[in-house]
Structure formats: C-alpha cells, structure tokens
Chain A
Amino acid sequence: MRVPDLIRHAACDFLTEYALLIDEDRLEDWVELFDEACDYKVVTRENVEQGLPNVLIWCDNKNMLRDRIASYRNVNEYNLHWDRHVIGAPRFCGELDGVWTIEVGYSLFQTDMEGVSRLFSVGRYRIEFGVRDDIARVKSVLVIADSGLIPTLLATPI
C-alpha cells in the first residue's frame, strides 16, 4: 500500500527505539512509547491458530504496563540475562482514522552473565500506532510468539 514517507520513517524509528530500550534495560522509557490507553499482549501462535484467547502477558492499559515493570524491578526473581532483539522490515496492513497497523517479524536472543547466548523467542508483532509531531504513538502491541515453549521463564518484555 502507499504509505507516506513520514509514516514509514516514524514506524522504523519506533521499532528501532522499541528494541533498543528493552535491550538496554531502559524498560521505564520503553513504557513511555505507549499511549495512556494502550494494550500490550504476548500470546503464542499455538493458541492463536486454535482460536484460543490465552495470554502469557496482558496489560490492557499503561498502568498495568507500569506494574509489570515495577514488579520486574522490585519483586520478581528471574534468570539474569541481557536481551537482544532483531526486528525485520514492517509490512503496512492498513490505516483507519489516522491509526496505522503494521506487522513485522522478530528474533529475540538472550545472553546469560557468563556470555552464553541462546535463541529465546521468534515471532511477529502486530502494532497499531498514530503519528503526532512526526513521532509514532503506540496504541497496541500484540506479540505472537512462534516459540510457544518458553525457555526457563519470561520476565522481560518481548
């Protein structure tokens, strides 16, 4: 579809920022990429293909996202690791009332504190965003993980 350069650039800048903020452990800044009324959901392809609604993570507003990150920082125990996202080029699916939808594949590697890396998750994002002041404001991120068998546990966002 025909997509204005401004929108295309905003989407690419957003995806770059999204990945780096998680990978650099700036999760509080990552939350700020989202609109106040937002939706972040991690599901697995196994469930989606069976039409089952189960979620691994579901934050249906920005406060729930803040709670997720606060719990990660202060309460939960998890495997100590660094994340590294590799995100592909987005496919534009459509636009409605200024809200654009894109889909894009990702790979997520995790590296432990002794430097051992493993493929942690592959899948795709379905993202809805609007653009204000040339910057993408995100309404929803749906993560559909092909990797339904989660190694060890899932603590940091995909």
Chain B
Amino acid sequence: MSIEVNWERNDYSRIPFRLYHDEEVYALEMERIFRGPCWSYLCLEAEIPNPGDYRTTWVGDTPVVVSRAVGEGGAIHAFVNRCSHRGAQIVRKTHGNAPEHVCIYHRWCYRADGELTGIPFRRGLKGEGGMPADFDMAAASPKKMHLANVNGMLFGTFSDHAESIEDYLGPLGMGMVKRFLHKPIRIIGYSRQMIYGNWKLYAENLRDTYHASLLHEFFVTYGVDRATQKGGVKMDERHRHNMNHAYTGSDTQADALTAYAGTAGVALDRMRLSDTKLLEHTPEFDDRMNLAAPTFFPNGLLIQINHSLGTRQIRPKGVDRHEVFQTLFGYIDDSEEQVRHRLISANLVGPAGFVSMEDGEAIELIQKATGNERQASNVIEMGGRGPLKDLNHRITETPVRGFWSYWAELMGMEPAGGIR
C-alpha cells in the first residue's frame, strides 16, 4: 500500500497536517514502524527483578508481555499478549509474578517465553473431541520479540532483520543509556497521561528544543533551563534519535535578561519560590549536566531534569490520542535524603509537572486546530533548512526534521530527493 503525500519540501521543513489525522497513515505506522525494523523501548529490567516477574507494556498498539523465566537462568522474554486461540488478552494485570500465563477463556497456557504449552482437552474426552492430532503448538505460539538489554533498559523488535541494538542506538544513544543506568536503580513509581493528539506530536515535542524555554516558562522564570545556558542537540547518523542537553549555571542572569527581553509571555526575575528546595541541584553525573533527554525513535526516552530521573514511553491509542507512560527511578545507593529529594523533584515532571504539564495542552491545540486541513503544512525552519546537523545551541527544530526523514524512509513515503 502506498499513500500519496503532498510534501512541499524535500528537507521536511513542511509537514502536511493530514499526517497527524489520517487513519490509513496510522495503520501503516503500526505496521512499518512499530512492527517494523525499529527497536522500541519496553520497560526497565529493574521492574522484573525476580524469576517469574512480568510487566505488560505496549509497542505501538500491540499489547506485549515482558517476562522473566523461572528457569533458564532467569532469561527475559517479550511476546504479544494475545491468546493464539481466540485472541483474548492473556495477561490482564499490569505486573505480577507467575511461573506461567493462562488465558482465562479456555485456559490455554503459556510459558514465560510465550511458548504455548497447554491446551485443555487437547486429546478430547474419552476418545471424543479434541484438537486435530497434527496441531502444532509451537507454530501457534504468540509472536515473540527479539530483545535487547542495554544496562537494564529493555528494547524489543518484531523484525528479524533489524540492525543490532548497538548500531540502532549508535554510540551516542548507547553512551547515554549507560550514563543514566551506570549503577543499580530503584523504581520510584509511575505516572500516566492521556494526550488527545497524534503520537508524533509528542515525538516531535521531545525533539523541539526551541519550545522548551518558551512554553515551559517555569524553566526560564526560575532559571532551571534557559536557551542562554550552555547546551545543544546531537543526533545519531540517521537523525532518528536526538539528545537535548544543558548545563546548570552556565549562563548569567544578565545574559538571560537580554536574550528574553521583549518576548511576550516570558518574564524573568518576576517571581521567587518561597521554598527553593525544589530547585536545589548538585551535579550527580560526571558530565555535570542538569538537563539531559536522549530520545529514541520511535517511542522512548530517558530524561533527567535536575534530580528527577526517568523513562517515558509513548503509547499510541488511535490516530488522535496517545498515552505518555513515565517511570521514575533513583539509585539503590541513594540516601534517605536523596530519595526524598527525588520525590520533591517529581513536582517538575509528569502530568502535573511544573516544566512538563504544558506539553499536553500544546499538542491538543494542534490536534484541534488542524483536523480539517487536507492540504496545508506546518513550518519547521527554526535552526535552518536543508541538511540535518548537530548544533551547539537549542534554538532549533532540526531534530524534528530528522525524525520525519527517518519516518518517511520507513514508511516508504520519502519525497523526491528527500534528505536523510
């Protein structure tokens, strides 16, 4: 199947609005991206520490179980959470511990690796009924994912032809996962947010460093992150992943006052927190960054904002909505005081986060205002047109164009002479 896209430019500086609304495009994305040759973020190994532990997750709109075997040295597996028999969801809880998984409908039974191992009355009863003798249980088992474990961050792909995870994430991505997960972690908990907009709007938002200090005025007002700080964006070779980062205290109040002078709706120095502990930050990584957000095509990211550390997973729920599932963590060796500070820092992120709540609203405003538009495109030129390059500043949307270039390649929808 092929869908005609009215690309105005070959450098993705114009994206047709209908790509956020078209049901056929969405169905094809599930097939060619989420069930295609991408590595999707699944969950963290720390969430399933013991033999038999499992977690349910989503890869695009496919329900998936991530499960640790009781035997096999506790190997981790991921498989589609759908009974081979009639298609019922096998595992119903979000998490738990079970040596095997049983579909409630007709009690078909699955091992931790997803292998179908039991069918009640398979041989019939007193010589009558039952499955045909040649029924192949192994062939009927739910689809399994290939799994990659990078320092405890679990990725999966349905494709037998995907690149290695090392090649997929590239040195930058691999290095960033290792930075965040350089020692054993402890899960602090979860948050979920339903944003009524196409999933790509969130993927773009993560790559749009231009909006960060404008939409999220808290950043600027209280000096957590300003475009005047040292920082930048880096992409992998294919421009599908990106890394937005900044260093605390690397600008001066005077720099910032000059830079933001006259920007409507943004005002520095106007307010002070009555309780400043929320923003207390002592660099805890060797690189001394206070903001780091390596984002992985198509659905995952790691994010540090001061002492808040976490992953986020984009779960598309139809063409016009997606869930943002956030997992916050700290380290096993965090002191009681550090744990408390990470919890206080949770005020910054998530659906009620001082520097994150706005994304939900901005995305919904786009979805609402563009639904009827079949021809027009948006404008993505901040940071320049043409070639896709890393930048030592964050006044850019170039990684958004990078996202679209890889999207179009996977979808088989590149414009003539489309840049990569």
Identify the A interface with B (CB < 8 A).
42, 44, 46-47, 50, 52-61, 63-64, 66-67, 70-71, 74-79, 148-155
Question: Which chain A residue has the least Cβ–Cβ distance from B357?
Answer: A153
Segment at the interface with A among B36-44, B69-77, B141-149, B345-353: B345-353
Query: Is the pair B358, A55 in contact by a Cβ cutoff of 8 Å?
Result: no
Query: Is the pair A54, B357 in contact by a Cβ cutoff of 8 Å?
Result: no
* A–B complex contacts, Cβ < 8 Å, 18 sampled: A44-B191, A47-B190, A53-B343, A54-B188, A54-B343, A60-B344, A71-B218, A75-B221, A75-B271, A76-B218, A148-B191, A148-B192, A150-B191, A152-B351, A152-B364, A153-B352, A153-B361, A155-B357
Segment at the interface with A among B251-259, B273-281, B286-294, B370-378: B273-281
Q: 1/0 contact trace for B298-341 toward A, CB 8 Å? A: 00000000000000000000000001000010000000000100
Closest 4 A/B residue pairs (Cβ)? A54-B189, A52-B189, A63-B274, A150-B351
Within 8 A of A (CB), among B193-243: 193-196, 215, 217-218, 221
Q: Is B187 an interface residue (CB 8 A)?
A: yes
In the complex, which residues of chain A have a beta carbon less than 8 angstroms from the beta carbon of B347? 55, 57-59
- In the assembled complex, the Cα of A54 lies from the Cα of B353 at a distance in Å of 13
Q: How far is the CB of B190 from chain A (nearest CB, A)?
A: 6
Q: Pick the contact of A152: B195, B221, B271, B273 (CB < 8 A).
A: B195
In the complex, which residues of chain A have a beta carbon less than 8 angstroms from the beta carbon of B357? 76-78, 153-155
In the complex, which residues of chain B have a beta carbon less than 8 angstroms from the beta carbon of A46? 94, 190, 192
Q: Is B108 an interface residue (CB 8 A)?
A: no
Q: Pick the contact of A75: B192, B196, B217 (CB < 8 A).
A: B217
Q: How far is the CB of A83 from chain B (nearest CB, A)?
A: 14
- In the assembled complex, the Cα of A79 lies from the Cα of B343 at a distance in Å of 25
Question: Which chain A residue has the least Cβ–Cβ distance from B354?
Answer: A71
In the complex, which residues of chain B have a beta carbon less than 8 angstroms from the beta carbon of A76? 217-218, 354, 357-358
Q: Is B270 an interface residue (CB 8 A)?
A: yes
Question: Which chain A residue has the least Cβ–Cβ distance from B330?
Answer: A53
Within 8 A of A (CB), among B84-119: 94-95
Q: Is B415 an interface residue (CB 8 A)?
A: no
Q: Pick the contact of A149: B218, B323, B339 (CB < 8 A).
A: B323
Question: Which chain B residue has the least Cβ–Cβ distance from A56?
Answer: B352
Q: Is B383 an interface residue (CB 8 A)?
A: no
Query: Is the pair A78, B191 in contact by a Cβ cutoff of 8 Å?
Result: no
In the complex, which residues of chain B have a beta carbon less than 8 angstroms from the beta carbon of A53? 188-189, 339, 343
- In the assembled complex, the Cα of A38 lies from the Cα of B273 at a distance in Å of 17
Query: Is the pair B218, A54 in contact by a Cβ cutoff of 8 Å?
Result: no
Dominant SS at the B interface? mixed
Query: Is the pair A79, B274 in contact by a Cβ cutoff of 8 Å?
Result: no
Query: Is the pair A54, B364 in contact by a Cβ cutoff of 8 Å?
Result: no
Which of B188, B323, B361 gathers most chain A CB within 10 Å?
B361
Known: A44-B192, A153-B359. 4 other contacts (CB 8 A): A56-B351, A67-B275, A152-B361, A154-B352
Q: How far is the CB of A148 from chain B (nearest CB, A)?
A: 5
In the complex, which residues of chain A have a beta carbon less than 8 angstroms from the beta carbon of B271? 70-71, 74-75
Query: Is the pair B193, A150 in contact by a Cβ cutoff of 8 Å?
Result: yes
Q: Is B360 an interface residue (CB 8 A)?
A: yes
In the complex, which residues of chain B have a beta carbon less than 8 angstroms from the beta carbon of A152? 193-196, 351, 360-361, 364
Query: Is the pair A66, B343 in contact by a Cβ cutoff of 8 Å?
Result: no
Query: Is the pair B346, A58 in contact by a Cβ cutoff of 8 Å?
Result: yes
Instruction: Using A44-B191, A54-B188, A58-B343 as known contacts, say yes or no to A77 and B215 having CB atoms under 8 A apart.
Output: yes
Q: How far is the CB of A64 from chain B (nearest CB, A)?
A: 5
In the complex, which residues of chain B have a beta carbon less than 8 angstroms from the beta carbon of A148? 190-192
In the complex, which residues of chain B have a beta carbon less than 8 angstroms from the beta carbon of A50? 95, 189
Query: Is the pair A150, B194 in contact by a Cβ cutoff of 8 Å?
Result: yes
Q: How far is the CB of A127 from chain B (nearest CB, A)?
A: 19
Question: Which chain A residue has the least Cβ–Cβ distance from B359?
Answer: A153
Question: Which chain A residue has the least Cβ–Cβ distance from B195?
Answer: A152
In the complex, which residues of chain A have a beta carbon less than 8 angstroms from the beta carbon of B217? 75-77
In the complex, which residues of chain B have a beta carbon less than 8 angstroms from the beta carbon of A154? 351-352, 357
Q: How far is the CB of A120 from chain B (nearest CB, A)?
A: 11
In the complex, which residues of chain A have a beta carbon less than 8 angstroms from the beta carbon of B343? 53-55, 58
- In the assembled complex, the Cα of A78 lies from the Cα of B360 at a distance in Å of 8
Q: Pick the contact of B194: A55, A64, A149 (CB < 8 A).
A: A149
Query: Is the pair A63, B275 in contact by a Cβ cutoff of 8 Å?
Result: yes
- In the assembled complex, the Cα of A47 lies from the Cα of B327 at a distance in Å of 11
Query: Is the pair A153, B218 in contact by a Cβ cutoff of 8 Å?
Result: no
- In the assembled complex, the Cα of A137 lies from the Cα of B220 at a distance in Å of 35
Q: How far is the CB of B366 from chain A (nearest CB, A)?
A: 13
Question: Which chain B residue has the least Cβ–Cβ distance from A73?
Answer: B271
- In the assembled complex, the Cα of A83 lies from the Cα of B347 at a distance in Å of 21
Query: Is the pair A42, B188 in contact by a Cβ cutoff of 8 Å?
Result: no
Which of B187, B350, B351, B358 gathers most chain A CB within 10 Å?
B351
Question: Which chain A residue has the least Cβ–Cβ distance from B270?
Answer: A74
Q: How far is the CB of A157 from chain B (nearest CB, A)?
A: 9
In the complex, which residues of chain B have a beta carbon less than 8 angstroms from the beta carbon of A61? 275
In the complex, which residues of chain A have a beta carbon less than 8 angstroms from the beta carbon of B346? 54-56, 58
In the complex, which residues of chain A have a beta carbon less than 8 angstroms from the beta carbon of B344? 58, 60
Query: Is the pair A54, B190 in contact by a Cβ cutoff of 8 Å?
Result: yes
